[in-house]
Amino acid sequence: MRDIAIRVNNVGKKFSRSLKYVMSYGVRDISKNIFGINAATHLLRKDEFWAVDDVSFELKKGEALGIIGQNGSGKTTILKMLDGIFMPDKGKIMIEGKAGALIQIGAGFHPMLTGRENIYVNGAVLGMTKKEIDRKFDSIVEFADIGDFLDTPVKYYSSGMFVRLGFSVAIHCEPDILLVDEVLAVGDVNFRKKCAKKMRELLKSDVTIVFVTHDLGVLRHICEKAICLRSGKIVHHGDIDGAINEYMTLPAETAHGQQGLKEIKKVSVLDGENNEVKTLSTGEKCSLEISIETKEEVMSPVIGLAIYDNTGTMAIGTNTRKSGFKIEKIKGSCAVKVEFPYLNLIPGNYKVITQLYDDSMGTIDRLEDAAFFQVYSKNYSTGYIFPEHSWSIR
């Protein structure tokens, strides 16, 4: 029992899709609590849904748990319950120790205050005294690497600078438990490596880490086990490979875990024989097929896609306009295919994001995590791509 840092038992958190009902339910629940009446928060009411449903796990001191899943699957909601921002509507959470959280970019920062001032504000929020912050100040600034912007109001910071400063303050508060959200994905490659190294050091000193990420490479590097979520429920709990395999085969879902009436319906990964697949080989012919359904006529639409590797780096980015492929109009159902006669990606895990624009490049619809696939190769190469090539000597 003394080794357990986090215990989550059958936890659930619900939200309402209607602002009107959110206000009404909130007033009712508070009133019932005041008068000692059971609010029955374990039951769904009109227009409510479970963002997290019946989730259980436990972590020992010095362990790292990865949480993966598509957008809207409940990952950040779990972190916010662990951090005490949300209270569960059912189940129990036990936390042993002090938690230092990095929930979202700029959390705990005041936009009008400088980086220097926000170090003290954010440090105080995380439980550090002024003397403790004074003692660690230089180390915080050095790790954050924000250069000449220390005395600049943080409203002028880039998202990467926000993350560097927030992460630096969080780790210097010497937490027993570190809660890290996907925000690290906006940092540059060198900073992500520095963060990964620091988190491994923290694990050796018995700090417990809960890490929400889409970066499967970092997940393998830091965590011993993982949870994969779908629509707020655990679909895999255990080894990393099993969680990743489950994650790679999840169908796209909306923020409430339901298939939605979206303009972009699906993206299919096809091999050279037009079979839908989850794995490809470097050098083979393949294609991506984007299924679209529009209720209204869209004139001169532009369709774009991006393929990201597991570090969050864009490997391929293109759209129909850049490629010189003009579409006069679309209405109803259609399927747009982009073919790659030679797939030049090196082995790894990849995800596809696609977007539908109007003629002025205004976004009509965007589908995150539209598809996932893995690339294998017998002729492994390093770098970002594997170009078709040959060798000679004379």
Pure H helices in the chain: 19-34, 75-82, 115-125, 130-144, 159-172, 189-204, 216-222, 240-248
- Per-residue pLDDT tens over the stretch 55-82: 999 999 999 999 998 878 899 899 999 9
Confidence of residue 381 (pLDDT cuts 50, 70, 90): low
Q: What per-residue confidence (pLDDT) applies to 259?
A: 42
Cα–Cα distance for residue pair 12/77, rounded to 1 Å: 10
Q: What is the mean pLDDT of residues 139-159?
A: 89
Model pLDDT for residues 351-375, shown as the tens digit of each residue: 899 999 887 667 788 887 889 898 9
Rounded Cα distance between 124 and 118, Å, is: 9
Please indicate whether residue 9 or residue 36 has the higher confidence score (pLDDT): 9
- Out of 3.40.50.300, 2.70.50.60, 3.90.76.10, 1.25.40.10, which CATH number does the structure's domain 264-376 have? 2.70.50.60
178, HSE (Cβ side, Cα atoms, 13 Å): 31
| CA-derived radius of gyration, the chain | 23
- Whether residue 110 has pLDDT greater than 90: no
Q: In the CATH scheme, what is the homologous superfamily, with its name and number, of domain 4-97+176-248? A: P-loop containing nucleotide triphosphate hydrolases (3.40.50.300)
Task: Break the chain into its structural domains and give their ranges.
Answer: 4-97+176-248, 264-376
CA dist., res. 107 & res. 162, Å (int): 9
**Which residues are CB-neighbours of 42 under 8 A, at least 6 positions away?**
12, 89, 90
Burial of 107 (0-12, 13-18, 19+ CB in 10 A): middle
CA distances from 290 to 52, 261, 339, 345, 349 (A): 30, 15, 11, 20, 20
Cα angle 303-308-311, degrees, rounded to a multiple of 5: 160
Chain centroid to CA 169: how far? 21
pLDDT at residue 354 in the model: 92
- Distance (Å, whole) CA 322 – CA 148: 38
pTM for the complete prediction?
0.67
Q: Average pLDDT, stretch 236-258?
A: 70
Residues 192-219 have a mean pLDDT of: 86
Paired strand residues for 69: 229
Q: Nearest 10 degrees: CA dihedral of 22, 25, 26, 30?
A: 180
Q: What whole-number distance in Å separates Cα of residue 89 and Cα of residue 11? A: 7
Cross-strand pairs, 298: 330
pLDDT digits (tens, 9 = 90+) for 324-353: 999 999 989 999 999 999 999 988 888 899
d(CA 341, CA 359): 28
C-beta of residue 272 within 8 angstroms of C-beta of residue 286: yes
pLDDT at 254: 43
Give the whole-angstrom CA distance, residue 309 versus residue 214: 10
**Taking Cα atoms as reference points, which of 84, 10, 7 lies closest to residue 232?**
10
